[in-house]
Structure 1
Amino acid sequence: MRMDSDDVADVEEIWKTFVPSASLLRIDPADFAFRWRSATLGDLAIVRYSLTAEVHSRVQPEDQLFACRLVAADGVLRTRRSIIDAGAPWATDSALVEAEWNGTAEVSALLFDRGRAQELARRITGDELLSLRLTSVHPRSDLAARQWVRAFDYLLTSALSLDDAGDELIEAGLARHALTTILGCFPSTFSSAITRDGGGERAATVRRALTYIDENAHLPITVDEVAEAVHMSTRGLQYAFRRGIDMTPTEYLRRVRLDGAHRDLRNGGVDESVTRIARRWGFANSSRFSALYRQTYGRSAKETLQEH
């Protein structure tokens, strides 16, 4: 969904669709501009909008897991008990959060159906009795906050690039990524569940494997070599990836290589070609690479190269 508007009523209508608990308590129509971009993937909504106005708003979700970031020159965010740092992401599944600003603000938000989020969290942890709850509106660290910002940009770009027909596997992967982004950034009951029954050790191994892949994806590494690097059997690594991030090591390696090829296509010089870049990132079959690229980024690799 894409909308640019100068009608105050549009804001209320869209907010109520995505965030039933949200309300605008005060807004000045004389100095108003609204730009909205969003994508809905099943029970997940990914939203970014900018709003120029004098605003006092409040959010208190009942059936949603709501994670958000407000960037405004004079923005103020608070709960009943604390002030939220300006520019930092925050999250709530029941706590009241109020926001005020006068001017232009950019808001980025992930909205998850609470029941669906709990179902996914139970699958990840293996704890069928897990009651998913956030235990703080504040991120667990500055590093976690920065990771949330980077992950949100990836999620929105990827979701907006999907065509109308969509792809169930890609959409499920993005939803899983969105949930782990929220639960990795903010303290919750998920954190304690993931550390039980060896979950913490398994999660640490997956993180090491992800780092190894990120740093070496440009080399002709194999999944066997990734497993050896983190001192685990290949079968054990595959199981840990499935439990931890709901994809195989091969799928993650392919995604990182696609991202690398995407960057090279955007930065390519006049002597570059799609085939050369594809091979550089381990895609020997250029036709297969082109199909994967279009499926992931919503356009052809050749178009990306020619534009940049």
Structure 2
Amino acid sequence: MTVLQFSTYDASRVEETWRQFVPSAALQQVDPDDFRFDWFSAEGAGFSLVRYGLRAQVRSVVEPENQLLACSVAGPGAEVWSGRSPMKCGAPWLTDGARMEARWDQAQVSGLIFDRGTAEELARRMCGDDTLRLRVLGGAPDHQAAREHWSRSIDFIAAAMIESADDELILAGVQRQALWLLLTMFPTTFRTALEQDPQSRVAPRLVRKALAYIDENAHLPITVDDIAAAVHISTRGLQYAFRRSLDTTPAQQLRRARLEGARRELLDGTQDTIAAIARRWGFAHPSRFSAAYRDQYGVLPAATARRRE
């Protein structure tokens, strides 16, 4: 594990240092007057924790690629947003590619960063689903106490990484705990997998391959016949396998995946209309989409969209 800690008045070091951990990070505006930068980071295999204080007028952007990034920006007058959707100052947010922007005059920033492949492999082991495709379904945490929980967890993880820098076994446990925090604090496909009937996680390999194909291609105009062809079985055989293993049908699973995709867009704060999102995910009739969405999530699509306003 590598620990880095320093303080500087050199504005050029901010972006340079941050990009070592998040290559997409960009500081669009930095006022060098009254500037101070205090940095701490602990980096392990596929996983990092960063904490820094930055006193300066700053506007920053991150749009991570092949990373899972959770972050909190706390400070007087600080603002964080994604698209047109503001995030609560001081509360953590999570992205696996969605563009996040922030500005502040003085702020304390803390973050957890996972390599996407590392996170997905570990998440599969934790939930027992080796077909899991790890995705963020919403960038904001679900519960009101997230800010306090995040702060305490960051303190604990940072201390544990420093105290156990040479103990790979303990560091692996800390990494697991940090990822569990992210994947259960925010809406993710990991949490969806945990909530599934355990029977689906031990389904035959053919059924699990079909579920993975559905999740990867739900945004495309695929049919049940396409799913069957992808796993080299007849449509009738696929339907029988789903009924026997999951007590459902491939068509129902495809609809579930498309509803999940639509929900993810609504939570991400897209500027498109609900009708446009519905069409993009294969629902030609907005009224039928709304009914199916309510049956799946207990609320209408408009209620989900309002959560990000």
Task: Using the TM superposition, give the Cα deviation of residue 192 of structure 1 relative to its aligned residue in structure 2, in angstroms.
Answer: 1.1
1:170-218 Cα deviation digits (max 9, x unpaired): 110010011001011110111110122339xxxxxxxxxxxxxxxxxxx
The Cα offsets for residues 120-146 of structure 1, whole Å up to 9 and x where unpaired, read as 110011111100001111001113443
Q: What is the alpha-carbon distance in structure 2 between the residues aligned to residue 127 and residue 195 of structure 1?
A: 12
Q: Deviations over 1:55-107 (max 9, x none)?
A: 000011011100011111010100004100111111101111100012x2100
Give me the whole-angstrom Cα distance separating, in 2, the residues matched to 1:32 and 1:157. 27
Aligned residues with identical type, % of pairs:
43
Q: What is the aligned counterpart of 1:6 among 5, 9, 13?
A: 9
Separation of aligned partners in 2, 1:8 and 1:121 = 37
Quick one: distance in 2 between partners of 1:168 and 1:159? Answer: 10
Counterparts in 2 of 1:58 and 1:47: CA distance versus 1, 3 Å: same
Query: In the alignment, which of 43, 46, 63 is matched to residue 46 of structure 2?
Result: 43
Q: Distance in 2 between matches of 1:142 and 1:153?
A: 19
Instruction: Tell me the amino acid that sits aligned with residue 151 of structure 1.
Output: S
The count of aligned residue pairs is 197
Q: Are the equivalent residues in 2 in contact too, given 1:38–1:160 (CA < 8 A)?
A: no
Alignment of 1:117 with 2:119, yes or no, is: yes
Question: What residue is the counterpart of 2:74 in the other structure?
Answer: 71
Letter in 1 for 2:24: S
- 8 Å Cα contact 2:92-2:140 kept in structure 1: yes
Is contact 1:148-1:182 (8 Å) kept? no
SS across alignment from 2:149 = helix
Structure 2 counterpart of 1:196: 196
Q: Secondary structure at the match of 1:18?
A: coil
Superposed, which structure 2 residues align to 1:200-211 within 5 Å? none
Residue in 2 that maps onto 1:156: 158
CA distance in 2, matches of 1:177, 1:148: 12
Question: Mind listing any 5+ residue stretches in structure 2 that lack a counterpart?
Answer: 200-309
Classify the secondary structure of the residue corresponding to 2:38: strand
Judging changes above 3 Å, is the alpha-carbon distance between structure 1 residues 144 and 54 closer, same or farther for their aligned structure 2 residues?
Answer: closer
- 2:91, 2:146 within 8 Å by CA — same for their partners in 1? no
RMSD: 1.5
Checking the alignment, whether the CA contact within 8 Å between 2:92 and 2:146 is kept in structure 1 is: no
Out of 94, 97, 104, the residue aligned to residue 97 of structure 2 is 94
**Corresponding residue number in structure 2 for 1:204:** none
Could you tell me which amino acid in structure 2 is paired with residue 184 of structure 1?
T
* Equivalent residues in 2 for 1:7-46, closer than 5 Å: 7-46=10-49
* SS of 1:14 mapped into structure 2: helix
Letter of the 1:77 counterpart? V
Note the C-alpha offset of 1:16: 1.1
The amino acid that maps onto 1:121 is A
Whether 1:175 and 2:178 are equivalent positions in the alignment is no
The alpha-carbon deviation at position 160 of structure 1 amounts to 2.1
Q: Distance in 1 between matches of 2:74 and 2:178?
A: 20
Which residue number corresponds to residue 276 of structure 1? none
Alpha-carbon distance, 1:158 to partner: 1.3
Q: Distance in 2 between matches of 1:177 and 1:77?
A: 26
AA matched with 1:70: V
C-alpha distance in structure 2 between counterparts of 1:35 and 1:147, whole Å: 23
User: Residue 44 of structure 1: CA displacement?
Assistant: 0.6
Q: Is the 8 A contact 1:139 1:145 kept in 2?
A: no
Please tell me the residue identity of whatever aligns with 2:23. Answer: P
Secondary structure of the equivalent of 1:19?
coil
Aligned partner letter, 1:159: M
Structure 2 length-normalised TM:
0.62
Q: Supply the distance in 2 between the matched residues of 1:190 and 1:145 (Cα, whole angstroms).
A: 21
Greater helix content: 1
Q: Secondary structure in 1 aligned to 2:53? A: strand
